[in-house]
Amino acid sequence: MKLPKLFTKCIFAFMVIFAFSTSCSKKSVTVSKKARTDNRFKVIGYLPNRIDLVAAANQVDFAKITHLYIAFINPDSLGNLTVTQNLKEVAALAHSKNVQIMASIGGGGAPKYYPSFLVGEKKAKLITDLVNLAVENNLDGIDVDLEGDLIDVNYENFVIDLATALRQKNKLITAAIATVYKSQFTDKALAQFDFVNIMSYDRTGPWRPDKPGPHSPYSMAEEDLQYWLETRKIPKEKLTLGVPFYGYGFGGTAPESMSYKNILRQYPDSVNQDQMHLNGGMVYYNGLATIRKKTELAKEKVGGVMIWQLLQDSTGVKSLLGEIDGVVKGK
């Protein structure tokens, strides 16, 4: 009885397909693909790891982000991960808001001894500890933000082994990457990550006093996306564009670094600018207009935006995160 009905359904389906042009089918696929892409657009915000982690997390507007990254959790000189109190509680808070949460390792100020933890028994211990950290605290995965000399000959094997171990527990692995280190990332290493976040900032800074100027101009975002998309051929859905919620000062007695929040506290009218005079020097940052423009670029070209870091934002109509959210939601 079942076989004839099956044949009847197949014949009917064939007649329906034949009756419509192929363009209808293509249109349907295109719409579905677009819907999936829109749903996956990521807004990733880093939150500094600190003693009052719960209090810090309660300052986050979870309705405007999709991923929360706790930065950083690193091994001490003996190889033991630094204790992070209330991490599980913050993970529960994030999940209750439909936000994924990751622990990030490394960072620009990662310990100098880190390379020794990327090989041999120390590597095996670190990977086991990171997987356990994710599992025991109900995290969604681990973010690898190893920079500079830490992207060495052992980086590829480390991320391969870490990715394998995390996926056995159904956990994600992501990375923060910078174009300045582009030659140090192998294609095989990059292929391990579920997605990668481009640190499109810090072109210059206090460490380069002889090179004053914008550290994160719009042109840098364009150049970074072009390289990772067109030269390295990373799929757009696996890339996010990083944006800064801080600025750097040069000259006079301008502070070396200032959060966007503190910039506006002193100069409220600087909200739509990218630089301001201060103490005989100049501070460079991204104001509302540039953050909007960068988010529009990301929405067009890649799969999301990444923010360093959330606590540096202002509030209300001057919030950079609010501006990002407006673009993402078509406001």
Give the pLDDT mean for 8-21. 37
- Integer Cα distance of 288 and 308 in angstroms: 15
Q: Considering only the C-alpha atoms of the chain, give the largest distance between any 2 of them, rounded to a whole number of Å.
A: 89
pLDDT of residue 39: 59
Mean pLDDT of 297-324: 98
How far is the C-alpha of 287 from the C-alpha of 272, rounded, in Å? 5
pLDDT of residue 50: 87
DSSP lists the bridge partners of residue 81 as: 75
Helix H or strand E encompassing 121: helix 120-136
Percent of the chain with pLDDT over 70: 88
3-state secondary structure of 217: coil
Domain boundaries, the chain: 41-245+287-328
Q: CA-CA distance, 82 to 106, in Å (whole number)?
A: 12
Sorting pLDDT into bands at 50, 70 and 90, what band is 51? confident
Dihedral sign of CA atoms 273, 279, 280, 281 in order? negative
Return the minimum-mean-pLDDT range out of 1-5, 149-153, 215-219.
1-5
Q: How confident is the model at residue 15 (pLDDT cuts 50, 70, 90)?
A: very low
pLDDT at residue 314, as a whole number = 97
pLDDT tens, position by position, 251-295 = 999 999 999 999 999 899 999 999 999 999 999 999 999 999 999
53, 58, 60, 63: CA torsion to nearest 10? 130
**For residue 249, which phi and psi values (nearest 5 degrees)?**
-105, 145
- CATH fold label, 41-245+287-328: TIM Barrel (3.20.20)
pLDDT the model gives residue 127:
98
Q: What is the 3-state secondary structure (H, E, C) of 287-307?
A: CHHHHHHHHHHHHHHCCEEEE
Residue 227 pLDDT: 98
Backbone angles phi, psi at 102, to 5 degrees: -130, 155
**CB contact at 8 A, 272 and 289:** yes
Could you tell me if 139 and 91 are in contact, meaning their C-beta atoms sit under 8 angstroms apart? yes
Q: What is the mean pLDDT of residues 202-229?
A: 97
pLDDT for the residue 289: 98
Q: In terms of residues, how long is the chain?
A: 331
Can you give the pLDDT at residue 324? Answer: 98
Tokens at 149, concatenated: 């000399």
SS3 230: helix
Q: Of 3-12, 88-97, 181-190, 279-288, which range is least confident?
A: 3-12
Residue 24 pLDDT > 70: no
Amino acid 85: pLDDT: 86
Average pLDDT over the chain, rounded to whole?
A: 89
Q: Is the pLDDT of residue 28 over 80?
A: no
Residue with tokens 């953050």: 291
Instruction: Indicate the range of 18-22, 111-115, 145-149 predicted with least confidence.
Output: 18-22
Give the span between the Cα atoms of 167 and 81, in whole angstroms. Answer: 20
The pLDDT confidence band at residue 331, using thresholds 50, 70 and 90, is confident
Strand order in the sheet with 275-278: 257-259, 246-250, 281-284, 275-278
- Position 31 confidence tier, pLDDT thresholds 50, 70, 90: very low
Residue 227's CB is within 10 A of a number of other CB atoms, namely: 14
